[in-house]
Amino acid sequence: MTVAIASGKGGTGKTTMAVNLALSLQGPVQLLDCDVEEPNCAIFLKPRIDASESVGIAVPHVDETFCDACGECGRFCRYHAIVSLKTTPLVFPELCHGCGGCALVCPTGAIHEELRSIGVIEQGVRGSILFTQGRLNVGEAMPVPLIRALKKKKRTDGIVLLDSPPGTSCPVIATLRGSDLVVLVTEPTPFGLNDLDLAVQTVRTLGMPFGVVINRSESGDDGVLRYCTKESIPILLEVPDERRVAEAYSRGETAVEALPHMRELFGIFAARITAELEACRRTPLPAAGR
């Protein structure tokens, strides 16, 4: 079963929750770092990476010998990624979404596709935890194709944890799709509350069960608590605002390894998540929700 750990606001503690939860769950666990623009799980999990593969998207290449500059490809493309003037078409690979349409519409079969690398997927292990991360090449605009490729590496047994990027737009959606449970991590501040509400609306649009984790609780006000009560959103965990936790984090240490009371807290969290997943398994969502 898949648990996605997301948030509206950045820096609320998604990676912290994902890694410490992975270390606290029983049974086979896979941690997928889907924040391909800034993957950080490995800093804390310190897996042994043993495999790496390049990921590409298909971009058009035009064979000039077959091209008669009819302009069909340029007329078709919604992204101005291929432009046909009186000469052979120009390709702007950075704008290409890899839909394959230009190759399909070309009447002379002059377009074939080649993979253009956008990033890498790396796999490794830490104890019994299987770890997979994606890393987008710097300068690449589109993380979504890499996230989609990364999610194909999900194992089918045990629990899969997805560390999601921050925000509510396409990379987050690509991460959340197909998850059984979403954990929204927030902080009890006005920014945290504002972005939590956006994240809640997003998850509700996707139709998946979700709960909230309040990190650095009592560092702000009770706005988030009141919001969750009003919206009947279960609070799965509250993590106190402790300097020692922040310091361990700054050194790349996991909370559960650095502080015994954190190990206890995350043990409770792991049990809660396991219970929530059991409940999800027993009441499957309608197909339209996925």
Partner 1 sequence: MRELVVISGKGGTGKTSLTACFAVLAKQAVIADCDVDAADLHLVLTPRVVKREQFRSGHEAVIRPDLCRSCGLCREHCRLDAVQMHDGQSGRPRFSIDPVACEGCGVCVRFCPEHAIDFPERACGEWFVSDTRCGPMVHARLGIAAENSGKLVSLVRRQAREIAEREGRELLLVDGPPGIGCPVIASITGATAILAVTEPTLSGEHDLERVLALARHFGIPVSVCVNKWDLNPEMASRVEVRAASRGARIAGRVRYDRSVTAAQLQAMAAVELGGPAAEDIRNLWDTLNHFPGGKNASI
Partner 2 sequence: MKIAITVSGKTLDAPVDQRFGRAPVFILYDTKTRSSEAVDNSQNLNAAQGAGIQAAETISRLGAECLLTGHCGPKAFRTLSAAGVRVYNGASGTVAEAIAAFEAGKLAESSGADVDGHW
By the criterion CB under 8 A, which residues form the site for partner 1? 8-12, 15, 35, 37-38, 40, 43, 76, 78-79, 97-101, 104-105, 136, 138-143, 148, 165-171, 173, 177, 189-191, 194-195, 198, 201-202, 205-206, 219-221, 243, 246-247, 249-252, 287-288
Extract the tokens encoding 124. 């490794």
Rounded to whole angstroms, the Cα distance separating 29 from 11 reads 24
> Which whole-number Å values give the CA distances from 134 to 16, 122, 143, 268, in the listed order?
18, 6, 9, 29
Q: Which is nearer to partner 2, 87 or 156 (CB)?
A: 87
The answer to whether 237 and 214 are in contact (CB under 8 A) is yes
Query: Angle between the 223-230 and 190-206 helix axes, to the nearest 10 degrees?
Result: 30
90 binds, among partner 1, partner 2, none (CB under 5 to 8 A by kind): partner 2
Least spacing, CB of residue 83 vs partner 2, in Å: 6
Least spacing, CB of residue 55 vs partner 1, in Å: 14
Q: Which is nearer to partner 2, 90 or 246 (CB)?
A: 90
Q: Which is nearer to partner 2, 86 or 282 (CB)?
A: 86
Extract the tokens encoding 254. 């996991």
Q: How are strands ordered across the β-sheet holding 2-6?
A: 48-62, 111-126, 129-136, 29-33, 159-163, 2-6, 181-186, 210-217, 235-240
165 binds, among partner 1, partner 2, none (CB under 5 to 8 A by kind): partner 1
Extract the tokens encoding 72. 């069909």
Least spacing, CB of residue 101 vs partner 1, in Å: 4
Q: Which is nearer to partner 2, 27 or 139 (CB)?
A: 139
159-163 and 29-33 beta bridge pairing: parallel
Q: Is the dihedral of CA 160, 161, 163, 167 positive or negative?
A: positive
Least spacing, CB of residue 177 vs partner 1, in Å: 7
230 binds, among partner 1, partner 2, none (CB under 5 to 8 A by kind): none
DSSP one-letter string for 213-230: EEEEETSS-SHHHHHHHH
Q: Which is nearer to partner 2, 87 or 232 (CB)?
A: 87
Least spacing, CB of residue 168 vs partner 1, in Å: 5
215 binds, among partner 1, partner 2, none (CB under 5 to 8 A by kind): none
Least spacing, CB of residue 95 vs partner 2, in Å: 7
Contact residues: partner 2, CB under 8 A: 74, 79-80, 83, 85-87, 90, 92, 95, 141
Rounded to whole angstroms, the Cα distance separating 262 from 284 reads 32
Q: Which is nearer to partner 2, 71 or 127 (CB)?
A: 71
122 binds, among partner 1, partner 2, none (CB under 5 to 8 A by kind): none
Question: What backbone torsions phi and psi does residue 24 show, to the nearest 5 degrees?
Answer: -105, -15
Least spacing, CB of residue 67 vs partner 2, in Å: 13
The answer to whether 58 and 82 are in contact (CB under 8 A) is no
Identify the bridge partners of residue 83 per DSSP, sorted by sequence position. 90
